[in-house]
Structure 1
Amino acid sequence: MPMVKDFIPRRMQPWLYIVFAVIFQMVGGVYMGSMQQMVGEWSVMREDVTFIAMCGIVGVAMPFPILFRLKFRYTNRQLEIFAVSGMIICNLLTLWVRWIPLLCVISYVCCYMKLMATFEIMSNIQLWMTPKRDFRIFFPLLYIIVLCDMSLSSFMAKQLTYYFGTWEAMQVFIIALLSLVLIFFMTCTKDFRFMKPLPFVSIDWLGALLWSIVLLQVIWLFTYGEYYNWFDGAVFRHVLYALPVSIYFAIQRMRHVHHPYIDPKAFHYKTLWPILFMFAVAELMNSTPMALENVFTGQILHYGFLTSSRFDLIVIVGNITGCLFCLWWMKMLKLPYTRLLTIGFAFLLVYQICMYGLISPVIDIEVLYFPTFIRSFGYTIFFVTLTLYLQELMPFEHFFMGLTIAGFIRNGVVDSVCTGVYSYLLRYHVADNLARALPFDTTQSIMMGIKQLYGITCIGGCAFMLLMMLYHVQPVRSTLKHVPYWNKLGQQMRRELEH
């Protein structure tokens, strides 16, 4: 690692970068584990805090098409100092700003920089992790960091908020960690280039903004839909009418600009659409914990946020186990990936069935550990395998655009849609149960509504499971797909810019 100064032991250098990646993935504009305190102190709605967090999730999805352009223009030291400084500033602003639109922008920018910093870290230690650039090794190890940190940040936010009595404790903790990282890059690294700098020009920033607006409009509709009573709300209708206009301008911009942010050719791969559909189904099956399980544990079992934080640790164990299982299946056993997808979805389906049978007001918390583990285990398998399919079935020049397109599905959009729909259906079933003159009080009606929706999800999951068993997915090649070296990729990008 020539960018690190010589007084840092060589064996320690990649491990330090791993620690930095873990820290970066914990960063966010706001932290959902502190939602209750933010709602009370800011005097805002839960939907407001949720939408601010979703802006950050969209920010994570958007940088992929320009990551290599950044890498080939700036040094590792320059990029990391810029990104880490930006994340520190965004977290500091969150402590003072209370205007919701500005907080949304801050969250978006913070998570945009988070992905830039994480990519620069992981791209520099990729050859240390897998000298042959074998993505069957790289992706499972990468997603141990990515998926585990999603739950780790929530767990840390809940713990710090509880023990320090304020949501600001998590922001201060993250700022302190990022400050240490910034000091390291300013004092222990140097500028190093492995190729002549590539001009950072012809970036379609307007295209990136238009696609971001489209995603945020969809998320807004399903986040605030229940609050505005869907089509009865004038604001909801206005945003709904604006959505087709935004989609039209985003598509036209993509079609008529010489270097669009997302190349139209990236949408033309036939194998892309089944992968996107499977991502959507996985997000649908994984949205029930937010939409149904949280209602069950909060309103029926009356768990506080500190008690609920135990589930975050179970999810982390499931994520690690799922990633290692994928690594063992793909690299050691070299078995078909279609079976791996089926196994992952089967665990997601078993979670729904378990929760359908376990809905009860007198259940012990330990009983819920197993369903939580198998859900995270199955989702991790599905997530890692589909990402590997995407890499193998798309050319490398369009793969990172494919990650952004997949981010349209997996980075908040489908989750918001499913959560909004589940919330509406739960309200409908609760009202329907109360109106039937059955001997149910409100608590029993909520419990029955949750059980009904879990049952509907089980039926849909069984139908999709049958479809997976019958549908033939193109197998991934047995020989490794060639991944170009960074300098060769930079030369190819330089030739494209000259045209």
Structure 2
Amino acid sequence: MTEYNKGLLYKWVPGLGMLGFIILIESMVMLINPIYAGNIGQMASSTGILAEYYMWGNYAVIIGLSLVLPFILRIKFRFRSKELLITALVVMATMTMIVATTHIGEIVVVACLIFGIAKMIGMVEMLLPIQAILSPDGDKKRFYAIFYPISIGSGQLGTFLPAVLSLDTGWQYLHYYGAATLLLLAMICVIVMHNQRFAKKLPFIHIDWLGLLLFGTILMSLAYIYAFGKQQDWFNSANILVAAIIVLVSIFTLIIRQLTIKHPFLSFKLYKIRDVRFGILLLVGQGLFMGASSILSIYTSAILGYNWLTNAELGLMTLPGIVLAGFVAFHWTKNQIPIKMYIFSGFAAYFLYMVMLYFMMVPELNITQLYFPQILNGYGMCSLFISIWIYTFDKVPQSTILPSVAPVMIFRSFVMLGLFTSLIGWLQYEFQWQSIGDMAVYFDSLALGYNLGTVGSMRDVQLGAILAANKRLLGYVIVAGLGILLFVLFHQFGRQKYAIARYRAYLKK
């Protein structure tokens, strides 16, 4: 008779060793990536590949993470945990080496997509025991309150550490060390992980492979538009138009297919739940603020002249805010406080962050003055990740939670973030040229014999145009943010809504 083992390691491994193994594997899987956003400039200049390919690859990692989620449990029940984790680590190491050595942009993108799929498989293998450790009673809210700060904080460290190491050794060596670490972890897994199955073996049936292909086609085409839109002048490019048509046709085909087959890849029943619909609407607001955060990068790079390392150091100042958001979330969920004001606090922190940036758009600024806004940025980002996730999936059945997570996760982390980042980048460029046009009258005065010093150099004009464009953008975001705050403040969440309904019913009697 086949014996099943829901653990990961042999019985001779002590409990403390098992905890260390889980922390080591999960931390390395989360930290190691094929592309680090802060190093894209170095990678492009070193290999001759367009930076847009690396941006496309960066999106492809997120897409790979979400593609495998709807049937991740089938994969877990089909194979042994040892087989899955070792394969995931080896594939991640291989894809990391490919990205470090290739000079072909398309290969970079494909390698990143495969890396994302393998990364999610490896993360889920560790995520289940981590959930049991952090929340033994199965409370999802408590788990989110602890796991999200760790995950987001690791992402910030994963931006800073590569910037430091690549400055000392070169970006390729960072990938070599990452690949070697993953292979070493795979060897450790061979030694300490048992060969038993997690549960009864299940075949690969009732999987909508065509739906998966359509979903991936939509996301990869959309990622191409986000990455190459500015470089190819958006919809003035035939390539962008073709990608947009592919997205629209694939979306229509996917919807028809999911509504007509017995075992759909994506279940649209999820969106009949009221909280899910409003949660997705809140994710639009979160995406706006996260995308608008790119204005700070434009300011620090173009106006203050910071390099990628200084920007990465500035990004570390989000960590106190992330920790604070996790602390507040833990006690909020522990005491069963309604989620409404926690969501409001996240948007309020983002709103104050944008207001402070608006008044800091000056030609010279000490870096220490940006620390507190970054703390607000970290609190807003982490608190909204936790609170909106809790609110959106609170009433989703546990049996359908994983298939439901994929479209919402990709909507939050890719579709909205990429959309607003691209939109704000395009608007900033347009507003910058408009500002230069508004100042063109001063150029004419040069021809009339005015002193150059009284008019200012061309560089000063350009910097002034960037500042004017940034302030204009921040003003629009602040106005939109005020609308979001009012929506959250007056929207009825959970317990309060039903109390009001009962009170009105009582009055009618």
Q: How many residues align?
A: 475
In 1, the alpha carbon distance for the partners of 2:24 and 2:496 equals 32
Offset of 1:391 from its aligned partner? Answer: 2.7
The residue that corresponds to 1:59 in the other structure is 64
Per-residue displacement from partner, 1:77-119 (whole Å, max 9, x unpaired)? 1211111111111112112222222211110110111111111
Please point out which of 441, 444, 447 is paired with 2:467: 447
Task: Provide the C-alpha distance between the structure 1 equivalents of 2:476 and 2:311, rounded to a whole number of angstroms.
Answer: 25
What secondary structure is seen at the aligned counterpart in 1 of 2:477? helix
The counterpart of 2:273, out of the listed 255, 263, 269, is: 269
Identity %: 21
The one-letter amino acid paired with 1:289 is S
Q: Residue deviations 1:399-447, cap 9 Å, x none?
A: 2222112123112211111111111211121111111136660111101
> Counterparts of 1:57 and 1:194 in 2: how far apart (Å)?
27
Residue 158 of structure 1 corresponds to which residue in structure 2? 163
Deviations 1:290-321 (A, max 9, x none): 2x111100010000111112123222332222
Secondary structure, aligned partner of 2:243: helix
Identify the match of residue 464 of structure 1 among 457, 460, 484. Answer: 484
1:197 deviates by: 1.6
| Structure 2 unaligned regions, length at least 5 | 1-5, 443-459, 499-509
- Residues 224 and 100 of structure 1, relative CA distance in 2, 3 Å threshold: same
2:200 to 196, 205, 230: 196
Cα deviation, residue 475, structure 1: 4.1
In the alignment, what sits opposite 2:11?
Answer: 6
Q: Report what 1:401 is aligned to.
A: 403
Q: Cα–Cα, structure 1 residues 191 and 322, in superposed 2: closer, same or farther, change >3 Å?
A: same
Q: Alpha-carbon deviation of 1:3?
A: 2.9
The alpha-carbon deviation at position 194 of structure 1 amounts to: 4.6
In 2, the alpha carbon distance for the partners of 1:138 and 1:103 equals 34
Secondary structure at 2:494 match in 1: coil
Aligned partners of 1:366, 1:163: CA distance in 2, in Å?
A: 25
Bigger Cα displacement from structure 2, 445-454 vs 189-198: 189-198
> Against the structure 1 CA distance between its residues 260 and 29, is the aligned structure 2 distance closer, same or farther, given a 3 Å change threshold?
farther
Q: CA deviation at 1:190?
A: 0.7
Report the counterpart of residue 454 of structure 2 in structure 1. Answer: none
Which whole-Å CA distance do the structure 2 matches of 1:180 and 1:205 have between them? 33
Q: Match of 1:449, as an amino acid?
A: A
Instruction: Say yes or no: does 1:167 pair with 2:171.
Output: yes
C-alpha distance in 2, partners of 1:174/1:346? 38
User: Which residue does 2:86 correspond to in 1?
Assistant: 81
1:358 to 354, 357, 360: 360
Residue 221 (structure 1) aligns with: 225
Query: Aligned residue for 2:27?
Result: 22
Question: 1:283–1:415: 8 Å Cα contact kept in structure 2?
Answer: yes
Q: 1:319 aligns with which of 313, 318, 322?
A: 322
Q: Using the alignment, how far apart are the partners of 1:34 and 1:70 within structure 2?
A: 34
The CA distance in 2 between the partners of 1:190 and 1:206, in whole Å, is 35
Q: Which amino acid aligns with 2:483?
A: A
CA positional deviation for 1:387: 1.4
**Structure 1 equivalent of residue 436 of structure 2:** 434
Report how far residue 471 of structure 1 moved.
1.1
The amino acid of 1:107's aligned partner reads C
Deviation at 1:289, TM superposition (A): 2.2
Counterpart residue type for residue 44 of structure 2: V
Distance 1:475 1:218 in 2: 38
Q: 2:76, 2:198 within 8 Å by CA — same for their partners in 1?
A: no
Q: Deviation of residue 477 (structure 1)?
A: 12
Partners in 1 of 2:395 and 2:288 — Cα distance? 24
Q: Alignment partner of 2:15: what SS?
A: coil
Question: Deviation at 1:345?
Answer: 0.8
TM-score by structure 2 length? 0.89
The aligned residue for residue 104 of structure 2 is 99
Q: Secondary structure at the match of 2:377?
A: helix
Cα distance between partner residues in 1 of 2:327 and 2:201: 38
Please report the TM-score for the alignment, with normalisation by the length of structure 1. Answer: 0.91
Hey, what does 1:489 align to over in structure 2? none
What is the letter of the counterpart of residue 137 of structure 2?
A: K
Structure 1 residue 244: Cα displacement: 1.4
Moved more, 396-405 or 263-272: 263-272
State the Cα RMSD in Å.
Answer: 1.9
> What are the within-5 Å matches in structure 2 for residues 264-343 of structure 1?
264-290=268-294, 292-331=295-334, 333-343=335-345
Runs of 5+ consecutive residues of structure 1 not aligned to the other structure: 479-499
Residue 202 of structure 2 is aligned to residue 181 of structure 1: no
What CA distance in whole angstroms lies between the structure 2 residues aligned with 1:173 and 1:128? 30
Compute the displacement of 1:201 (Å). 2.4
Name 1:35's counterpart in structure 2: 40
Distance 1:250 1:347 in 2: 38
User: Which moves more between the two structures, 31-40 or 392-401?
Assistant: 392-401
How big is the shift at 1:59?
A: 1.2
- 1:83–1:21: structure 2 CA closer, same or farther, 3 Å change rule? same
- Following the alignment from structure 1 to structure 2, what is the Cα–Cα distance between the partners of residues 147 and 153? 10
